[in-house]
Structure 1
Amino acid sequence: MRIVVHGQQAFGKAVLEKLLERGENVVAVCCAPTKEGKPEDPLAELAREKGLPLHQPASWKTPEALELMKSFDADVCMMAYVLLFVPEEVRDAPRYGTFQYHPSLCPEHRGPSSINWPIAMGKTRTGLTIFWPDDGLDEGPIMLQKTCEIGPDETIGDVYFNKLFPMGVDAMIEGLELVKAGVILKHDQRLDDGSYESWFKKANAVVDWSQPVDQVYNIIRAGNPAPGASTTFKGEELGIFDSEKIDGANDGQPGEIVAIDDNGVVVQANGGQIRMKRVRPAGDKKKVPAAEWAQATGLSTGVTLGN
């Protein structure tokens, strides 16, 4: 079967690696153009290393892009993490069309921050969807889905890299096997019956210490490592990353620092406390242990964050 791999970054590279390990016939690799001054995409690097035809059009909305996809004479296109919009006529150029990976249980959490939002909402399960995209935003018939748990202390980094990434690579291969077998599952269920969620931005990850401690902890986990939750200290932003929830402890007012030790800085929330273990001070690109930050700033208990 003649396969086009369309994707980018580490996930696209991992899917291509898996296909090549299996001896699949990859006839073309497509990814976004390399930006000036930026390193080349890992998928593009691997394609060049393996001597595969690499194409990086700036847009797929042109007649030239359609002719390019047709020229591959492909049976199927596998979309592994694609940010550029690809119109229907291009997606349908391969004999069996195009299928795509999305890291949520669609139609829930359609959109670009589909891993952050379930954590921020305190959900205990999420998953991934392999689907046949249409011209909507993360819409189209579902081929298959996989689920996984969200542990009570897991961050977006934990859920993605330890679960949704490896599961997703395997699910893309499973989707290919379904296409090969002629089991092309275009279910009646579609992905357009859920609300589209925009980016989980820094503004969504600002901590309100007066909120229930579970909600505060969920926001911090959903932003770790990106975009990073934050509060303020002396009027400047303080990024919050690794943390720990302490249920039931009420030793101060919301936002008040109630303890400082070698393990971090403990801040009061509503109905419990958060131990900040790693932070990023304003103007600093590096994340540092919270205990180190406290010592450097002469921090003491009784100080209130978030004012």
Structure 2
Amino acid sequence: MTPPLRLVFAGTPDFAVPSLRACFASGADVVAVYTQPDRPAGRGRKLAASPVKEAALVAGVPVEQPESLRDPAARERLRAHAPDLMIVVAYGLILPKSVLAIPRLGCWNVHASLLPRWRGAAPIQRAILAGDIETGVDLMQMEAGLDTGPVLLERRTPIAPDDTGGCLHDRLAALGAETLASGLARVLRGETLVAQPQVVEGVTYAHKLDKAEAKLDWNAPAAALARKVRAFNPWPVAEAVIHGERVRIWSAEAITSRVDAAPGSLVATHRDAIDVATGEGLLRIHELQREGGRRMPVRDWLNARRDAGARGG
């Protein structure tokens, strides 16, 4: 009887959990789960386990949390697990060549973009910010470069005009797990997946998000600002000054309209929205958050800010 495929899984955030569960369900033997060390979280800054660690503990799988895989002791520990294949999904630590060479079948990565577009840390948000109309997930054979490896399987999905960073994240996490499950099923049937080299044209990099990017510049076009609001929901959340008050903006849409008002001016209020002038068109805001407060529909903000006045529209 052929021994089961021995898997080691490496991942950290929520995005990786569906893929970990796909490994559990595949029929392969998940012999260890690697995740980043517990980090301070919440107001009390107490050490908290990653979502992947929590899922592994529930499943009763041994958890490894090295600070780095460059440490020779950490590499020997990985080698002792004798993995046939290592699955990496949003792990957050660099895998040196010496680690990539340990599993018999190498290392697979689930990446949330259509490579070579949006290699790097924040492909989901960068795709929305750029106005892309399509994205997807690639199951990639890892090599030493940053998301440069050949692609084993690919699944595509459209980006809807109202997709936020959060809902697209969840959809791609599920799609990534389905793609990984398909790849594992084929290998377990004895197939050899053929890796296709990435094309050399169209390479872009999805740099890590910075909170400073969330500040809206009212001189920008409304369409670009609306994409920022969507991309940065639920983190870091777009923010701006409206009618003299700094707020976070959770939901907004671009309105194509000629505006004779300075960018940043509150030009109209509606029952459930407010219109702010931009460098090109209007940003119609539906949901926001006052400093120290909770998310609220705009009508609640208008009730609290009677000075905003009724401006029609």
**TM-score relative to the length of structure 2:** 0.87
Q: 1:104 aligns with which of 113, 116, 131?
A: 113
Q: 1:32 aligns with which of 17, 26, 36?
A: 36
Q: 1:290 aligns with which of 295, 298, 301?
A: 298
In 1: Cα distance, 2:177 partner to 2:69 partner? 24
- Secondary structure in 2 matching 1:106: coil
Query: What does residue 43 of structure 2 align with?
Result: none
- Secondary structure in 2 matching 1:77: strand
Residues 3 and 26 of structure 1 are in contact (CA less than 8 Å); yes or no, is this contact kept in structure 2? yes
In 2: Cα distance, 1:178 partner to 1:298 partner? 63
Counterpart amino acid of residue 181 in structure 2: I
Deviation, structure 1 residue 15: 2.0
Query: What does residue 57 of structure 1 align with?
Result: 66
Q: How many residues align?
A: 301
Residue 16 (1) aligns with residue 25 (2): no
In 2: Cα distance, 1:216 partner to 1:14 partner? 31
In 2: Cα distance, 1:113 partner to 1:285 partner? 28
Query: What does residue 132 of structure 2 align with?
Result: 123
Residues 250 and 268 of structure 1 are in contact (CA less than 8 Å); yes or no, is this contact kept in structure 2? yes
Counterpart amino acid of residue 15 in structure 2: F
Counterpart amino acid of residue 75 in structure 1: D
Moved more, 49-58 or 181-190: 181-190
Residue 151 (1) aligns with residue 160 (2): yes
In 2: Cα distance, 1:193 partner to 1:122 partner? 15
- Secondary structure in 2 matching 1:168: helix
Residues 106 and 191 of structure 1 are in contact (CA less than 8 Å); yes or no, is this contact kept in structure 2? no
Residue 94 (1) aligns with residue 103 (2): yes
User: 1:126-183 CA deviation, whole Å, 9 max, x = no partner?
Assistant: 111111222222222222222111111221112121x211101111112223444342
1:139-288 to 2 correspondences below 5 Å: 139-161=148-170, 163-180=171-188, 181-189=190-198, 194-233=203-242, 237-248=246-257, 250=259, 252-282=261-291, 284=292, 286-288=294-296
In 2: Cα distance, 1:91 partner to 1:291 partner? 54
In 1: Cα distance, 2:309 partner to 2:253 partner? 18
Moved more, 5-14 or 192-201: 192-201
In 1: Cα distance, 2:114 partner to 2:10 partner? 22
Residues 5 and 30 of structure 1 are in contact (CA less than 8 Å); yes or no, is this contact kept in structure 2? yes
Query: What does residue 4 of structure 1 align with?
Result: 8
5+ residue gaps in structure 2?
41-45
Deviation, structure 1 residue 46: 2.4
User: 1:193-246 CA deviation, whole Å, 9 max, x = no partner?
Assistant: 724331232333332223322222112211122111121246664211112333
CA RMSD of aligned residues (A): 2.4
**TM-score relative to the length of structure 1:** 0.88
In 2: Cα distance, 1:302 partner to 1:104 partner? 44
User: 1:39-79 CA deviation, whole Å, 9 max, x = no partner?
Assistant: 22222122222221211111111111111111111110111
Q: 2:54 aligns with which of 34, 41, 45?
A: 45
In 1: Cα distance, 2:54 partner to 2:205 partner? 33
In 1: Cα distance, 2:94 partner to 2:160 partner? 33
In 1: Cα distance, 2:104 partner to 2:199 partner? 22
- Secondary structure in 2 matching 1:64: helix
Counterpart amino acid of residue 51 in structure 1: G
In 1: Cα distance, 2:154 partner to 2:224 partner? 28
In 1: Cα distance, 2:77 partner to 2:200 partner? 28
Residues 16 and 173 of structure 2 are in contact (CA less than 8 Å); yes or no, is this contact kept in structure 1? no
Residues 110 and 138 of structure 1 are in contact (CA less than 8 Å); yes or no, is this contact kept in structure 2? yes
Residues 7 and 80 of structure 1 are in contact (CA less than 8 Å); yes or no, is this contact kept in structure 2? yes
